[in-house]
């Protein structure tokens, strides 16, 4: 991508409305734009990051055996009347009428709809277990939308729904998602801690929130320091190995971790003082087991091996991609801007032409740009007619992990500078060496 032809509206000034660093940086770098309160457009730079986050989420959901579909944003009120949640959900639900005066709603979550899909097709225990997920916009008319896309009214969610014949089976499905979540957040460059959580209006009794520790987090959390060193399940995790998955769950729930709603002061105080962590955190994921709460009233039943009808045991599993993007920035930035983990960076490398129009500089930049693009890298080429200082500042601000700096003096001896955004370390090398390093 040539920056001169790209759409990346960088703001010169810090936006006044932004209270936290991630919101400020997302606005300054032109990643998002608020269209009305708590409703955002994702501009090209932001969209690139969001896509990379979703790709990782999708890969890990698929690896665990979950199956992707796509359900609509608008739902009929009828389904929600069946479950009893149409009245119970309250003001966070945006209710709409169509031209025939039929009550509709913009889905805040999808338990009812996915249960309807399930009951329409699945009749036998032989088709279980099943886990269906989608990545789709949700709407919740939050009383206090704030911090940009961290708490917006329209937001994206990856929500998965598991169906099992028995509670025991549902717990196994839960453990699969538990391991998949640990892998997902780790690949996003985050350390998420699963904490015992309240189940809220979704209901049920086995539930964990995945929390990123951050001073700007809205949740108050309490946990043991050991979490920092726990191993993340590897790429070779066998999602059919019931015992293996249970041991991952057991390990990650072996020490204390709870949000304020579930906090047990006595249990926390039993931890040696130097190992206690009392902090603030951002909820980036939430998993629930809620048994037959929806399958029973909605008639989602299968025939068991005993020949009888059984309401299926369900769980639901959410992740907020549009909240994860600012959460990653909260965890990874410095005074100059964002520092993207390589896995979600909008570009892998930025080529900075310090003197656009200089023949040698232009040629070297074109060579690097073409070679790295050909090697499948996402390359941003800053070919703008701007001062070098402006380009350095832009590159640091948008947080691309590696910068290749091409200037008239060093290129005279055939060399460029390679700068690591995170450490600031610089190395001088030939054009060819730089290409080989990054391709």
Q: Which two tokens stand for residue 262?
A: 């579930």
Contact pick of 28, 119, 153, 286 for Mg ion (by CB under 5 A): 286
Please list every residue from 177 through 236 that binds ligand ATP, using CB under 6 A.
Answer: 200
| Token pair 């656009």 in the structure block, residue | 356
The interface region with Mg ion, picked from 102-110, 273-281, 285-293, 401-409 by CB under 5 A, is 285-293
Task: Using DSSP bridges, classify how beta strands 309-311 and 32-36 pair: parallel, antiparallel or unpaired.
Answer: unpaired
**Do 193 and 257 meet the contact criterion of CB atoms below 8 Å apart?**
yes
Cβ 117 to Mg ion shortest distance, Å? 23
155 binds ligand ATP (CB under 6 A): yes
Q: Which two tokens stand for residue 104?
A: 């509709």
User: Is residue 355 involved in binding ligand ATP (CB under 6 A)?
Assistant: no
The smaller minimum CB distance to ligand ATP, of residues 217 and 401, is found at 217
- The answer to whether residue 152 forms part of the interface with ligand ATP (CB under 6 A) is yes
Residues 156-175 binding ligand ATP (CB under 6 A) are: 157
Taking CB under 5 A as the binding criterion, the range among 10-18, 245-253, 277-285, 303-311 that sits at the site for Mg ion is: 277-285
Tell me the C-alpha distance between 58 and 60, whole Å: 5
Question: Which listed residue (140, 176, 310, 313) binds ligand ATP by CB under 6 A?
Answer: 140
322 binds, among Mg ion, ligand ATP, none (CB under 5 to 8 A by kind): ligand ATP
Q: For ligand ATP, which is the closer residue by CB, 319 or 398? A: 319
CB 208 to ligand ATP: min, Å: 11
Specify the residue, 136 or 336, whose C-beta has the smaller distance to ligand ATP. 136
Segment 259-267 long-range contacts (CB within 8 Å, at least 24 positions apart): 259/195, 259/196, 259/197, 259/198, 259/209, 259/211, 259/219, 259/220, 259/221, 259/222, 259/283, 260/219, 260/220, 260/221, 260/222, 261/197, 261/198, 262/195, 262/196, 262/197, 262/198, 263/220, 263/222
Selected range binding ligand ATP among 28-36, 40-48, 161-169, 282-290, rule: CB under 6 A? 282-290
Residue 151 binds which entry of ligand ATP, Mg ion, none, CB below 5-8 Å type-dependent:
ligand ATP
Which of residues 285, 326, 401, 407 is near ligand ATP by CB under 6 A? Answer: 285
Say whether residue 142 binds ligand ATP (CB under 6 A): yes
Residue 247 has, within 13 A of its CA and on its CB side, a CA count of 8
Closer residue to ligand ATP in complex, CB, 1/319: 319
Shortest distance in whole angstroms from residue 210 CB to Mg ion: 10
Strands 130-139, 67-68: pairing kind? parallel
Cβ 277 to Mg ion, closest distance in Å? 19
Q: Which residues from 296-335 bind ligand ATP, rule CB under 6 A?
A: 318-320, 322-323
Single out the residue of 284, 302, 312, 344 in contact with ligand ATP (rule: CB under 6 A).
Answer: 284
If the CB atoms of residues 302 and 319 are measured against ligand ATP, the closer one turns out to be 319
Among 60, 111, 112, 283, which residue sits at the site for ligand ATP (rule: CB under 6 A)?
283
Q: CA 36, 109, 241, 246: dihedral to nearest 10 degrees?
A: 90
CB of 48 to ligand ATP, least distance (A): 19
23 binds ligand ATP (CB under 6 A): no
In angstroms, the Cα distances linking 160 to 130, 132, 133, 305 are: 10, 5, 4, 26
Distance CA(49)–CA(54), nearest Å, equals 9
- Write the binding mask 410 to 429 for ligand ATP: x where contact by CB under 6 A, - elsewhere: --------------------
Looking at the Cβ atoms of 93 and 418, the one nearer to ligand ATP is: 93
* Shortest Å distance, C-beta 333 to ligand ATP: 19
By CB under 6 A, the count of residues binding ligand ATP is 16
User: Nearest approach, Cβ of 272 to ligand ATP (angstroms)?
Assistant: 30
For binding to ligand ATP (CB under 6 A), which residues are involved?
Answer: 140, 142, 151-152, 155, 157, 200, 283-286, 318-320, 322-323
For binding to Mg ion (CB under 5 A), which residues are involved?
Answer: 283, 286
């Amino acid at each position: 991508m040539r920056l001169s032809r790209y759409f990346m509206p960088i703001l010169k000034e810090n936006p006044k409305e932004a209270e936290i660093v991630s919101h400020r940086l997302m606005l300054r770098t032109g990643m998002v734009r608020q269209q009305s309160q708590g409703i955002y457009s994702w501009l090209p730079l932001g969209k690139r990051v969001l896509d990379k986050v979703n790709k990782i989420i999708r890969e890990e959901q698929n690896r665990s055996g979950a199956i992707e579909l796509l359900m609509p944003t608008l739902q009929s009120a009828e389904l929600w009347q069946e479950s009893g949640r149409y009245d119970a959900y309250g003001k966070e639900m945006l209710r709409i009428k169509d031209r025939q005066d039929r009550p509709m709603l913009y889905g805040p979550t999808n338990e009812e709809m996915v249960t309807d899909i399930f009951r329409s097709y699945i009749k036998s225990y032989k088709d279980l277990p099943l886990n269906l997920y989608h990545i789709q916009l949700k709407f919740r008319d939050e009383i206090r939308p704030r911090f940009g896309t961290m708490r917006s009214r329209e937001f994206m969610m990856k929500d998965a729904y598991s169906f099992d014949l028995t509670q025991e089976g549902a717990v196994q499905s839960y453990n699969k998602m538990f391991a998949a979540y640990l892998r997902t957040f780790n690949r996003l460059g985050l350390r998420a801690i699963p904490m015992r959580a309240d189940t809220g209006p979704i209901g049920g009794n086995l539930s964990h929130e995945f929390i990123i520790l951050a001073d700007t987090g809205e949740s108050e959390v309490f946990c043991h320091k050991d979490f920092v060193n726990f191993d993340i399940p590897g790429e070779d995790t066998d999602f059919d190995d019931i015992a293996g998955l249970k041991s991952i769950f057991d390990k990650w729930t072996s020490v204390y971790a709870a949000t304020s709603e579930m906090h047990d002061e006595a249990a926390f105080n039993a931890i040696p003082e130097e190992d206690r962590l009392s902090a603030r955190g951002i909820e980036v994921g939430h998993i629930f087991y809620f048994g037959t709460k929806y399958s029973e009233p909605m008639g989602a039943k299968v025939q068991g091996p005993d020949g009888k009808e059984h309401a299926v045991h369900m769980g639901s599993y959410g992740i907020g991609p549009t909240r994860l993007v600012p959460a990653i920035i909260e965890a990874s930035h410095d005074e100059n801007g964002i520092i993207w983990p390589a896995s979600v960076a909008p570009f892998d490398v930025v080529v900075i032409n310090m003197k656009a129009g200089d023949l040698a500089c232009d040629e070297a930049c074109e060579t690097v740009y073409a070679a790295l693009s050909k090697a499948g890298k996402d390359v941003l080429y800053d070919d703008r007619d701007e001062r070098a200082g402006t380009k350095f500042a832009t590159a640091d601000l948008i947080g691309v992990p590696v910068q290749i700096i091409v200037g008239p003096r060093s290129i005279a001896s055939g060399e460029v500078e390679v700068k690591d955004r995170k450490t600031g370390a610089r190395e001088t090398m030939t054009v060819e060496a730089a290409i080989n390093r990054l391709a």
